[in-house]
């Protein structure tokens, strides 16, 4: 996994370099938005459909989803306690809650788990995200972002979910899987070709999203609790929960590694849309992502000895 994390770090670094150097005069934010749109609406749905259509689904899938729900709820609760003790502004509180609750389950989780566990790892990452994290984010998470922020919209929760192409791809993939319909070779090849671009493009856009602009002494101290929640406490909770619900083998390792991922990148979009502190959130993503390159191998070694 260490070699894969080095490659991931290199792709992230290339994204950072693009943001700084702006080759061809194209700034990182513009390119990031274009790539993210392509991935979100075309490439990622193709990957999700292929994985969930062909991956065996059963009780372990339910256990992975339950672990994801528990991790998000625990992160949100611990984040709320931390925000109150730090006496943060509402805009910064909302950003902290999003960063503490929701791991980067797909953008970092998918390539990391695929490297550590193979195809089953990619399936776990998709299940953890689209069976747990994404539905909570686009319902409860958005409501809370509106509460602490100063902007947003009144779109119903069900309509927000209906506007998420990977979520629909997940539903279709699970349905076809449950019906026992085989994935045609020609379609499988097309989906594989489209999906192969997801990981490198996601990591490049992650690099383009990283920013140190908001770093100062007071902000640095306000980030420490989030790092502890995301990189230590949430995976510890997942470890304890896995023991109690009978999650074993690769599914146990995958669910715990997902819980150990840094803060999600998508939160930056929500912060912008709902008037939360985007610079503070971007700084959390930056630091947690950098630290995760060390903590993820440590968690993998703890769980597997490799």
- 253 pLDDT higher than 80: yes
Tokens of 80: 């709320």
DSSP class per residue in 13-62: HHHHHHHHH-GGG--HHHHHHHHHHHIIIIIHHHHHHHHHHHS--SHHHH
The answer to whether 259 and 237 are in contact (CB under 8 A) is yes
Query: Could you tell me what percent of the chain has a pLDDT over 90?
Result: 49
pTM over 0.95: no
Mean pLDDT of 139-146: 88
- What's the rounded Cα separation, in Å, for the pair 148 and 202? 28
pLDDT of residue 217: 65
The confidence score (pLDDT) of residue 214 equals 60
How many angstroms separate the CA atoms of 291 and 285, rounded? 10
Q: How far apart are CA 286 and CA 277, in angstroms?
A: 15
More confident site: 101 or 216 = 101
Question: Which of residues 45 and 5 earns the better pLDDT score?
Answer: 45
Q: Which domains does the chain have, with CATH numbers?
A: 2-21+28-304 (1.20.1530.20)
pLDDT digits (tens, 9 = 90+) for 206-228: 788 777 766 666 677 889 999 99
The Cα-based distances of 280 to 98, 220, 229, 284 in angstroms read 11, 9, 16, 6
Q: What would the pLDDT profile of 28-74 be if each residue is shown by its tens digit? A: 888 888 888 898 899 989 999 998 998 888 899 999 999 999 999 99
Q: Which of 137, 148, 130 is nearest to 102 (CA)?
A: 137
Q: Which two tokens stand for residue 34?
A: 């274009």
Confidence of residue 80 (pLDDT cuts 50, 70, 90): very high
Which of helix, strand or coil describes residue 288?
A: helix
Structure tokens at 281: 């959130």
Task: Find the length of the chain.
Answer: 306
Going from the C-alpha of 73 to that of each of 97, 99, 213, the distances in angstroms are 10, 12, 29
What is the per-residue pLDDT across 290-302, written as a single tens digit (0 to 9) for each? 899 899 999 999 9
27: pLDDT confidence band, cut at 50, 70 and 90?
Answer: confident
């Amino acid at each position: 996994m260490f070699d894969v994390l080095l490659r991931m770090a290199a792709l992230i670094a290339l994204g950072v370099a693009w943001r700084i150097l702006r080759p061809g005069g194209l700034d990182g934010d513009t390119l990031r938005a274009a790539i993210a749109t392509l991935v979100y609406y075309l490439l990622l749905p193709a990957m999700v459909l292929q994985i969930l259509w062909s991956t065996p689904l059963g009780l372990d899938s339910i256990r992975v989803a339950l672990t994801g729900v528990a991790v998000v709820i625990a992160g949100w609760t611990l984040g709320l306690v931390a925000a109150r003790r730090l006496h943060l502004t509402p805009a910064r509180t909302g950003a902290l809650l999003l960063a503490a609750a929701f791991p980067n389950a797909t953008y970092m989780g998918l390539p990391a788990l695929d490297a550590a566990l193979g195809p089953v790892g990619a399936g776990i990452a998709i299940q953890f995200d689209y069976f747990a994290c994404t539905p909570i984010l686009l319902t409860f998470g958005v409501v809370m972002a509106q509460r602490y922020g100063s902007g947003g919209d009144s779109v119903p929760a069900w309509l927000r979910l209906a506007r998420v192409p990977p979520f629909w791809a997940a539903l279709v993939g699970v349905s076809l899987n449950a019906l026992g319909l085989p994935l045609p070779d020609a379609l499988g090849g097309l989906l594989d070709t489209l999906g192969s671009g997801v990981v490198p493009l996601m990591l490049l856009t992650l690099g383009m999203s990283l920013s140190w602009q908001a770093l100062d002494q007071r902000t640095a101290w306000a980030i420490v609790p989030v790092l502890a929640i995301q990189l230590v406490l949430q995976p510890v909770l997942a470890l304890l929960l896995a023991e109690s619900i009978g999650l074993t083998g690769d599914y146990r390792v995958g669910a715990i590694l997902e819980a150990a991922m840094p803060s999600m990148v998508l939160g930056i979009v929500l912060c912008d849309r709902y008037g939360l502190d985007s610079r503070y959130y971007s700084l959390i993503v930056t630091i947690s992502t950098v630290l995760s390159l060390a903590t993820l191998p440590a968690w993998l070694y703890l769980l597997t000895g490799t």
